[in-house]
Amino acid sequence: MKRTTQLRKLLSEKKSITLVGAHDAISAKLIQEAGFDGVWVSSFGTSAAQKCMPDANVLTMTESLLAASDINQAVNIPVVADCDNGYGNAVNVMRVVREFEKAGIAGISIEDNPFPKRCSLYPGDDRDLVAIDEMAGRIRAAKRAQTDADFFVIARTEAFIAGLGIEEALKRAHAYADAGADAILVHSKAKTAEEVASFARQWKRPVPLVAVPTKYGKVTSDELEAMGYQVIIFANQPLRASIKAMQETLAEMRAKRFPDASDQKIVPLEEVFRLVGQSDLDRVQKEFITSAEESPSAVILAAGFEKDLMPLIAARPKTLLELKGKSILERQVSALKTAGVSRIGVVRGYLGNTICMPQLKYFENPRYADTYILHSLFCAEEMFKGPVIVLYGDIVFDETILQKLLRSKGDIRLVVDRSWRDHYASASAGENGNGKAVPKGTELVLTSSVHTQNQRFLSPEEPDTVTQTGTNERIDPSKAAGEFIGIAYFSARGIQIAKEAYRQALKRHISGPFQEASSIEKASLVDLVQELIDLGHEISTVDIYKGWLEVDTFEDYRRAWEKVT
Ligand code: SPV
Ligand code: MG
């Protein structure tokens, strides 16, 4: 139901309704939760809270509209906006009505102060009001401008505030009711409710009355209702409550010099989370923001120790080896960031405390000496919420590889170098390799396509399917389609599949071999990938042709140094 209609319905059903003054969106929410009928957007409150300024038309119409609109959106009960004098003459009032109506506000109040006004509660009653006709014109203009028949226009007279007495107050109220006002607000700053009571006694028309018992605040809603007031506004108490609470909290923290000093006086963080709808945020993100969910995290596996690299890595792990002024890790992080991957985790082990690049999330594998890659990977399981890119911490690669990886399809993808044969004599089986033997532990893949037979052919995007993977002990190098370079991608679904397979494997292989490994603790990533293949999952390749280097030996390091720019 529209808020305008809600307000009309409340007024038709209840003898009186009570609105409470909000100064911002969260105070409005609290007013709603406390069970009041509606919210009053107090110009006194918004001037103070939003701008720390006096209530004297200092806020523009647009600023007031924004405050009212924010408040309106924070609640689902009717909101009545205090629009002061309408920010000018009848022409301004017409725009006010159009704008506030458009913002979904249930109603507004327009007072007979001139522009600029002074808050009714400020000391002194030497104030001029606009002529009755002028104010009646503002009300007629307001009623003409509204397009929603239920939009509620309150005409407020400041006759008592200006010390003009009850006759003037009544005269004005009648004129405003004649002009079409939906209600009359009779403002008073007398110390008791007698002034408003006497007004109500003489008000015989069906147009409802509105009271703002701030200065005569001992009167109850019931008493005002009995006098004949149908809308009662507690205009500024939440603002004043928050000022007092803040002053006390600040004084206490300043004196005691620690934030929990005022713990008993402040709400827990969770209460703020609840009020602002943090749980909705999570739900909406899950449901709609595919890009947030789809944007992958990366886990860099940098725990291992490589004895062949001693003494080069006597003081730091491999990933911190420098290549022309930048470590391998720095190069990886910069490539990931270029590819739009900003959540990056690093699994540390050997000399882990030397890895301390900022803005990375760290995970520890203290048992790096007795365990292997797969174990390290699952030390970072906390990162496995959406898609994950897994990278070995000792590879240097062309940034375009990540872009290709992210563009490619498939829940589980391995980056496979199709040129690998060029490097190794025993792999080339008579073709022109560079004469090097395939090092032990080289991770190879067999695929389903004919690419294997034609190394020169490399489809730019078309993925191939991995039929088998493992080291060169398991896979005959002369048959292999390519080398796994140590970069893999798991979609959100892919990583769930991998997690489940790992969990099952942990149960089944508590001792004894897992795929090629002597135990699950000593397993590599390709052992898990082979397990996934055995379970019938599809693994696709992301084919590349050179463009990467692995640093396993001193010779690798020298070569890497030469190649990188
Ligand atoms: C307000 O809350 O801004 C009002 C009521 O207009 S008063 O402050 O009493 O003028
Ligand atoms: Mg006001």
pLDDT in tens, the chain (565 residues): 999 999 999 999 999 999 999 999 999 999 999 999 999 999 999 999 999 999 999 999 999 999 999 999 999 999 999 999 999 999 999 999 999 999 999 999 999 999 999 999 998 768 899 999 999 999 999 999 999 999 999 999 999 999 999 999 999 999 999 999 999 999 999 999 999 999 999 999 999 999 999 999 999 999 999 999 999 999 999 999 999 999 999 999 999 999 999 988 999 999 999 999 998 888 887 777 766 557 899 999 999 898 888 887 888 898 998 888 899 999 999 999 999 999 999 999 999 999 999 999 999 999 999 999 999 999 999 999 899 999 999 999 999 999 999 999 999 999 999 887 776 654 544 444 455 678 888 999 999 875 444 455 555 566 789 999 999 888 988 889 899 999 999 999 999 999 999 999 998 877 789 999 999 999 999 999 999 999 999 999 999 998 998 887 888 888 888 888 7
- CATH 3.90.550.10 positions along the chain are 294-398+557-565
Is 280 labeled as catalytic in the residue annotation? no
How many angstroms does the Cα of residue 444 sit away from the middle of ligand 2?
76
Ligand 1 centre to CA of 178 (Å) is 24
Q: Closest Cα to atom 5, ligand 1: which residue?
A: 235
Burial of 418 (0-12, 13-18, 19+ CB in 10 A): buried
294-398+557-565 homologous superfamily:
Spore Coat Polysaccharide Biosynthesis Protein SpsA; Chain A (3.90.550.10)
Shortest-distance Cα residue to atom 10 of ligand 1:
120
The pLDDT of residue 432 is 42
Q: pLDDT value at position 512? A: 87
Q: Which pLDDT score, from 0 to 100, does residue 291 have?
A: 60
- The angle formed by the CA atoms of residues 329, 330 and 332, to the nearest 5 degrees, is 65
* Interacting residues of 260 by C-beta distance below 8 A, sequence separation 6+: none
Sign of torsion over alpha carbons 266, 267, 273, 274: negative
Where does the chain hold its CATH 3.20.20.60 domain(s)? 3-235
pLDDT of residue 539: 97
With vertex at residue 292, the alpha carbon angle to CA 404 and CA 499, rounded to the nearest 5 degrees, is 75
* Per-residue b or e along 154-185, where b marks 16 or more CB atoms closer than 10 Å to that residue's CB: bbbbbbbbbebeeebbbebbbbbbebbbbbbb
In angstroms, the CA 232 to CA 329 distance is 66
Residue 281 is predicted with a pLDDT of 87
Pocket test for ligand 1, best of 46, 55, 234 (most atoms within 8 A of CB): 55
228 CA from centroid of ligand 2 (Å) = 22
Is 119 close to ligand 1, i.e. is its CB under 6 Å away?
A: yes
Class of domain 3-235: alpha beta
Omega prior to 208 cis, within 30 of 0: no
Q: Where are the beta strands (DSSP E) in 135-207?
A: 152-157, 183-186
Answer yes or no: is the C-beta of 236 below 6 A from any ligand 1 atom. Answer: yes
Out of 55, 84, 182, 527, the active site residue is 55
User: Which one of 20, 23, 42 would you pick to mutate in the ligand 1 pocket, going by the greatest count of ligand atoms within 8 A of its CB?
Assistant: 42
Residue 119 alpha carbon, nearest atom of ligand 1: 10
